[in-house]
A = this chain, B = another copy of it.
Amino acid sequence: MPLTGIWQLNVRRIQFSFKSLPAVVTLVFMLSSSVLFLCMLKHLIKISLTAKNLVGQVFFACVQCACILFIDLARHWPALIRYWTRVELIFNRPPYEMLKRNLTQRVRRPAIIIVGLSLIEHGLYVASAVLSYRRRAYYCIETHNSTSAVSFDNYIMQNYDYVFQILPYTKTIAIFILIANGACTFVWNYMDLFIMMISKGLAYRFEQISARIRKLEHEEQVKESTFIEIREHFVRMCELLEKVDNALSSIILLSCINNLYFVCCQLLNIFNKLRWPINYIYFWYSMLYLVGRTACVFLTAATINDQSKSALGVLRRVSSKNWCVELKRFSEEVHMDQVALTGMKFFRLTRSVVISVAGTIVTYELILLQFNKADKVNDCYEH
């Protein structure tokens, strides 16, 4: 993807052009996922739309949207990262000091964890699909004397049947599908990971500001000019945050809706009965992973807000001797400005949002579970 420059965050400035290798890779990926998307859409229209078979479609639609948004972000990225680096220069030298774990560690750790967990998740998904297929196939052979061989070709044709209603079956296409599918899952995870990394980067700076103020607390006499400087840095960070938010907020909104939808879908299936143990393992792992990832994204994004507010407590303790107009202005700004990433400015990612999202999910879940039940009642009548 044209965004690979992100891995060189603190090193050098990156350029963006449509004629680079990542851009070509992205384009190929976009095309192949579009083919999957359209095949599924056609298949769905044929067998008529229901709430259940919508899941796959929504998955591909999300990935498509994410791709387009990322490419759009990539266009603004060089300017943004240059601005960011300029702002960061302030914080890389005294009087600001490194915090316990430095930024690179903080950003890298969740990245590795998420990538690792998502690989396990995809591995389990493939394992679950393959094993189910094999058991079903053997079962069929035993009971119906069907002669369909347990082969790779057969497996692909059964699991991705909607593709082969349009394209002819060849081994190349089959492998291609598997790769495209894997890449889609990666993009789907990458979206959340990206938001988390950006959040960590921003929260770190606000933490540095708080740390500096905390250090000042123990000094007897603080010059007003020091507070003016800190306030100016705080305002610059707020401006940076706004710039980042303008570029990212559509991706954040997409990620939130996406996570909400999939969490609801997965939770719905809790009471369902599955056939093989591997299905249970995959289902529970994938659900816990999804819920965990969603919580992580929300909580990490909320740390920006938490860190920006953490200075407030120290400002409260400043003795009335050191109190000055500039401090008053600073403390009011810290209190009033809701410093946070937003989802298209519709909502701010703070800790209180998490609880309302959780409440919403429970409400939807309870309503949707009734559907499921009603469906079963219907099923009983039909058979």
Residue on B with the closest CB to A224?
A: B320
Is A170 in the interface zone, CB < 8 Å from B? no
**Chain B residues whose C-beta falls within 8 Å of the C-beta of A329 in the assembled complex:** 320, 323, 328
Is A336 in the interface zone, CB < 8 Å from B? yes
Give the secondary structure class of A's interface. helix
CB distance from A365 to the nearest CB of B (A): 10
Is A47 in the interface zone, CB < 8 Å from B? no
Contact with B along A348-364 (1 / 0, CB 8 A): 00011011000110111
Complex Cα spacing A326 to B316, Å: 12
Is A306 in the interface zone, CB < 8 Å from B? yes
Is A345 in the interface zone, CB < 8 Å from B? yes
Contact with B along A137-155 (1 / 0, CB 8 A): 0000000000000000000
Q: Are B374 and A373 in contact (CB under 8 A)?
A: yes
Contact A355 B366, CB 8 Å, known A316-B238, A381-B380: no
Q: Are B345 and A316 in contact (CB under 8 A)?
A: no
CB distance from A312 to the nearest CB of B (A): 8
Q: Are B316 and A333 in contact (CB under 8 A)?
A: yes
Residue on B with the closest CB to A235?
A: B316
A351 interface neighbour in B228, B346, B374, Cβ under 8 Å: B346
For this chain, the copies found in one complex come to 4
Q: Are B363 and A271 in contact (CB under 8 A)?
A: no
Complex Cα spacing A232 to B335, Å: 19
Chain A contributes a number of interface residues (CB within 8 A of B) equal to 53
**Chain B residues whose C-beta falls within 8 Å of the C-beta of A362 in the assembled complex:** 364
A370 interface neighbour in B335, B336, B354, B374, Cβ under 8 Å: B374
Is A89 in the interface zone, CB < 8 Å from B? no
Q: Are B235 and A317 in contact (CB under 8 A)?
A: yes
Contact with B along A305-342 (1 / 0, CB 8 A): 01000000100110010010110110001011100000
Contact A366 B364, CB 8 Å, known A347-B355, A351-B346, A354-B346: yes
CB distance from A48 to the nearest CB of B (A): 8
Is A369 in the interface zone, CB < 8 Å from B? yes
**Chain B residues whose C-beta falls within 8 Å of the C-beta of A347 in the assembled complex:** 352, 355
Is A97 in the interface zone, CB < 8 Å from B? no
Q: Are A364 and B367 in contact (CB under 8 A)?
A: no
Q: Are B380 and A377 in contact (CB under 8 A)?
A: no
Is A88 in the interface zone, CB < 8 Å from B? no
Contact A326 B320, CB 8 Å, known A368-B366, A377-B378, A381-B380: yes
**Chain B residues whose C-beta falls within 8 Å of the C-beta of A377 in the assembled complex:** 374, 377-378, 381
A371 interface neighbour in B345, B369, B381, Cβ under 8 Å: B369
Complex Cα spacing A359 to B363, Å: 11
Is A161 in the interface zone, CB < 8 Å from B? no
**Chain B residues whose C-beta falls within 8 Å of the C-beta of A351 in the assembled complex:** 344-346
Complex Cα spacing A323 to B345, Å: 29
Q: Are A239 and B313 in contact (CB under 8 A)?
A: yes
Give A contacts to B, CB under 8 Å.
48-51, 228, 231, 235, 238-239, 242, 270-271, 273, 306, 313, 316-317, 320, 323, 325-326, 328-329, 333, 335-337, 343-347, 351-352, 354-355, 359-360, 362-364, 366-371, 373-374, 377-378, 380-381
Residue contacts A-B, CB under 8 angstroms, 15 given: A50-B271, A231-B320, A239-B317, A320-B325, A320-B326, A320-B329, A323-B326, A343-B355, A344-B351, A363-B367, A364-B366, A367-B367, A373-B374, A373-B378, A374-B374
Q: Which 5 A-B pairs have the closest CB atoms?
A: A346-B355, A366-B367, A345-B351, A235-B316, A228-B320
